[in-house]
Amino acid sequence: MSTDLDKLWPLLFPAIGQTLQMVAAVMVIVVAVGTPVGVVLHNSSPGALFPHRALRATLSWVVNLGRSLPFLILMAAIIPFTRYVAGTTIGVSAAIVPMSLAGIPYFARLVETALREVDREATEAGRAAGGSRLQVIVSVQLAEALPALVGSLTIAIVGMLEFSAIAGTIGAGGIGYLAISYGYERFDTTVMTATIVTLIVMVQVIQFTGDRIVRRLAH
């Protein structure tokens, strides 16, 4: 019941490709949407650039909503929405929808936390120097938080890798799909082991690279 090693590669290789593709696509969306959401979450809080109680409360509630459901349940719950957006409920493009929905609030919170670490007075200095809000957000808040943001990015990528594996179990392809269809359903220990090793290696490489960059950014 075991796949030969030379049959493993043709299975594993495209699966890794699909996983990377999924994670990369999702990360683009997550960063593009999650960053502004995190910036607004931070700056609508008292004492920040544009304090706004109602805006913050609403946004915070929505973000919490997105984060309160386990990914598997979220994925199942939004199938109609996924079909509407992606036109299908299986495959890589279908997985991107729930992954983004779960990833955006996750990353937004990470960005908010990273920005909170930036000295509030640095923001004030930016404003006092005549910077617009956007200028202060970009050149003071995000720039000063850069190492923390790279750390957040690393965490988010690892998180998305995990989501992609879960998405794989309901037919999204990638390593998760391989693990379920071969390892779990056919008791193929070789494939199972290979997927586990692959995931471990990927997480380690992502974390290692992220840490290296953070260290290089630190002054």
Partner 1 sequence: MIRVEKLHKTFGTGTRARPVLHEVDLNIAQGTIGAVVGPSGAGKSTLARCVNLLERPTSGRVWVAGTDVTDLPERDLRHARRAIGTVFQSANLLRRRTAAQNVAMPLRYLGVTAREEKRRVAELLERVGLTDRADDYPAQLSGGQRQRVGIARALALRPKVLLSDEATSGLDPAATRSVLALLRELRTDLDLAILLITHEMEVVREVADTAALLREGRVAESGPVHQLVADPHSALGNALLPDRPVSWDRPGLGTWRLTYQGHAVPTDWLTRLGADHGLDVHLLSATVEEIAGRAAGRATIAVGHDRADELTAALDGWGIHAEPLPEPLPESLPGPLPPDHSARAEEPAASEPASEAAAETAAETVV
Interface positions with partner 1 (CB under 8 A): 119, 121-122, 124-132, 135, 139-140, 143-144, 146, 217, 219
CB of 144 to partner 1, least distance (A): 6
Looking at the Cβ atoms of 124 and 162, the one nearer to partner 1 is 124
CA nearest 177: which of 195, 193, 156? Answer: 195
Q: Which is nearer to partner 1, 4 or 121 (CB)?
A: 121
Which residue's CB is nearer to partner 1, number 140 or number 179? 140
Nearest approach in angstroms of CB 190 to partner 1 is: 48
Q: How far is the CB of 142 from partner 1 (least distance, A)?
A: 11
* Cβ(12)–Cβ(190) below 8 Å: no
Quick one: CA torsion of 193, 207, 205, 95, rounded to 10 degrees? 60
Phi, psi for residue 22 in degrees, rounded to 5: -60, -50
Q: Are 41 and 60 in contact (CB under 8 A)?
A: yes
Closest CA to 165 of 143, 185, 187, 180: 180
| CB nearer to partner 1: pick between 140 and 161 | 140
Q: Which of residues 6 and 121 has its CB atom nearest to partner 1 in the complex?
A: 121
Task: Report the residue number, 47 or 87, with the smaller CB distance to partner 1.
Answer: 47
Min. distance of Cβ 30 from partner 1 in angstroms? 24
Q: Closest approach of Cβ 48 to partner 1, in Å?
A: 12
Contacts of 140 (CB under 8 A, 6+ apart): 118, 122, 123, 125, 126, 131
Q: Is the dihedral of CA 82, 86, 91, 92 positive or negative?
A: negative
The residue to which tokens 């379920």 are assigned: 180
Tell me the closest approach of the beta carbon of residue 14 to partner 1, in angstroms.
Answer: 41
Contact (Cβ atoms closer than 8 angstroms) between residue 104 and residue 156 = no
